[in-house]
Amino acid sequence: STLCAGEILFIIFSPASKPYSFGHPSVESVAKCFSNASQPLNGTTDAPVEAYRKVRMNLLVQDFNKVQDQLDAIKEKQKAIALAQQSHGTEIHHCWKTPIDQLNLRELYEQGSDG
């Protein structure tokens, strides 16, 4: 932070959930920058750097939202598969869940050809 004139804030929680913090120049001044996002940062931040930071943050939020949507879709598919299995009273057989000494010759051959 000294070399780049950067403002930093660390908030650390102990195993007992006690918060500890450190900020430069102070915890309050750095926290105020994030709590009042509509207010511009102090004069040390150049406009192009601030613009890049905002664009980069928006891209990261978009990436996060895409991943979250993919996770939600996977969860929905898993629920649908579980419901289908329950309604049909069947269970999908996975050869890797069966002990090797309980596989028949065809299953052993298929397992060997897959690996």
Give the model confidence (pLDDT) of 12-58 as tens digits. 888 888 888 888 888 787 777 766 655 555 555 577 778 888 888 88
CA angle 107, 110, 112 (to 5 degrees): 110
Do 47 and 71 sit in the same domain of this protein? yes
Single-letter amino acid code for the residue at 60: L
Domain that holds residue 35: 1-40
How many domains in the chain? 2
Q: Is residue 80 situated within a structural domain?
A: yes
CB distance 33 to 55 below 8 Å: no
Q: Are 34 and 59 found together in one domain?
A: no
| pLDDT value, residue 114 | 55
Residue 67 maps to a domain: yes
Cβ neighbours of residue 21 under 8 Å, at least 6 residues apart? Answer: 9, 10, 11, 12, 27
What kind and span of H or E run contains 12?
strand 8-13
Coil, helix or strand at residue 69: helix
Burial class (CB in 10 A: 0-12, 13-18, 19+), 30: buried
Q: pLDDT value at position 29?
A: 79
Rounded to whole angstroms, the maximal C-alpha distance in the chain is 74
Write out pLDDT tens, residues 61-114: 888 888 888 888 888 888 888 888 777 765 555 545 666 666 667 776 676 665
Percentage, residues of the chain above pLDDT 70: 68
Whether residue 25 is found in the same domain as residue 58: no
